[in-house]
Amino acid sequence: MYKQIITAMTLLFLILFMAACGKENISRQENTQFGETMEFTVTDQLGRQVKVPIALKRIAALDHFAGNIIFALGAQDTLVQQSLFGKLGAAMAKRDEKFAAKPEVRQGHEKINVEELAGFQPEVIFVNASFDKAELQQLENAGLKVIALRGETIADSFAAVKLAAKVLGCEQQGKEYIADCEKLLKLVEDRVGNIPVEERPKVMFAGPKSIFTAATGEMLQTSILEKAGGRNVAAEISTGRWAAVSPEQVAAWNPDVILLGSSLDMYDENAIYHDVNFKTIKAVQEKQVYAFPSTVGWWDFPAPHCVLGIVWTAQLLYPEKFSDVDMTKIADEFYTKYLGHSFTSLGGRL
């Protein structure tokens, strides 16, 4: 009788515990047989309902944003592939044997071999919300569960972290990560947040396709500039990404500063300085053209690196207000905590 009472109480505790975990916008489903893996349902940032198992052991992340979040949450050991790409992936492979031993599956914008990826048996795959819809459908047709994360605003990035943390069962790590990001945002807000809009420098954020493309108002780069105390000259272009602009439009904007997007490293400051179409632009005349940090990780992409990009941009626009800030030290501490290796040890430089 005593054992039966204990068993009954234990089962009651489990039921109550699972009921409590069912709150916070997750619905959990217990299978019919006791002891089998359970699932819970989440809504991803494309509005899709996805059922995923509890206690994930094998996951994949197919773009920079998702991969960085997985590392920031300390869940990289569950990855079936590297999930960090470009220069950051190459730098990590030199420093981390466990990372280097994992397959790449995808590099840059190359198409994904769905059969190869399915062969690694990931229980969940994280992708960017801008992921090619046809490829997403191919993954789902192969029986793979896909969760889309969005990061074109700071709020979206934080929501993506919360969603990934919930899926991976590491909500505390997610809260800590967001708190650290918010500390850096507050550092900047306290120093430039009260500067009137009309007194803020005009900035053109040139894109990776050519020097005659600009970040639009709906892109993360606009949020970066606004948080850092600048004004995006192309903010009124509210649709699309990296809008093509004419030399005449750039001349009409006459930006005080030009920032070069780091994503594909197609050109550098000299391409601006030597282009006759820019010779009358204030940013060129005053030598205010800068490439965004990109030697190991792109700071103008979604979290975790974009908060570093905000501090870097604010210091660039208002050096007198950030003379006490050691950007390399901040980057080293952030990379160490959320990527496992310091910025400088990975070969990063500003």
pLDDT in tens, 236-253: 998 788 999 999 999 999
The per-residue pLDDT for 108 is 56
Instruction: Give the contacts of 230 (CB within 8 A, at least 6 positions apart).
Output: 200, 201, 202, 203, 257, 313, 317
CATH code for position 43: 3.40.50.1980
Is pLDDT larger for residue 10 or for residue 226? 226
| CA-to-CA separations, 7 to 3, 11, 36, 80, 158, in angstroms, rounded | 6, 6, 18, 39, 41
Is a pLDDT exceeding 50 seen at residue 24?
no
Which residues form the domain of 245?
193-339
Residues 113-167: pLDDT tens digits?
A: 889 999 999 999 999 998 889 989 999 999 999 999 999 899 999 999 999 999 9
pLDDT band with cut points at 50, 70 and 90 for residue 34: very low
Is a pLDDT exceeding 50 seen at residue 33?
no
Peptide bond into 304 cis (omega under 30): yes
In a domain, 91, yes or no: yes
Are 206 and 245 part of one and the same domain? yes
Cα angle 80, 67, 64 (rounded to 5 degrees) comes to 125
| CA-to-CA separations, 334 to 142, 183, 306, in angstroms, rounded | 37, 12, 12
Are 216 and 311 part of one and the same domain? yes
Question: 3-12, 93-102, 273-282, 300-309: which has the minimum mean pLDDT?
Answer: 3-12
Last residue of a domain, one of 180, 214, 235: 180
Give the total number of structural domains in the chain.
2
Is the Cβ–Cβ distance between 221 and 300 less than 8 Å? yes
* CA-closest candidate to residue 205, choices 222, 218, 188: 222
Is a pLDDT exceeding 80 seen at residue 11?
no
Dihedral sign for Cα atoms in the order 280, 281, 286, 289: negative
Is the Cβ–Cβ distance between 278 and 206 less than 8 Å? no
Last residue of a domain, one of 180, 207, 236: 180
Is the Cβ–Cβ distance between 28 and 52 less than 8 Å? no
* CA-closest candidate to residue 41, choices 24, 29, 31: 29
The per-residue pLDDT for 75 is 96
Are 97 and 234 part of one and the same domain? no
Residues 61-89: pLDDT tens digits?
A: 998 899 999 999 999 999 999 999 889 99
Residues 162-214: pLDDT tens digits?
A: 999 999 999 999 999 999 999 999 999 999 999 999 999 999 999 887 899 99
The per-residue pLDDT for 18 is 37
* CA-closest candidate to residue 147, choices 43, 69, 219: 43
Is pLDDT larger for residue 335 or for residue 267? 335
Are 32 and 71 part of one and the same domain? yes
CA distance 214 to 42: 35
* CA-closest candidate to residue 148, choices 114, 135, 120: 135
Are 163 and 211 part of one and the same domain? no
Is a pLDDT exceeding 70 seen at residue 2?
no
In a domain, 6, yes or no: no
In a domain, 347, yes or no: no
The per-residue pLDDT for 109 is 59
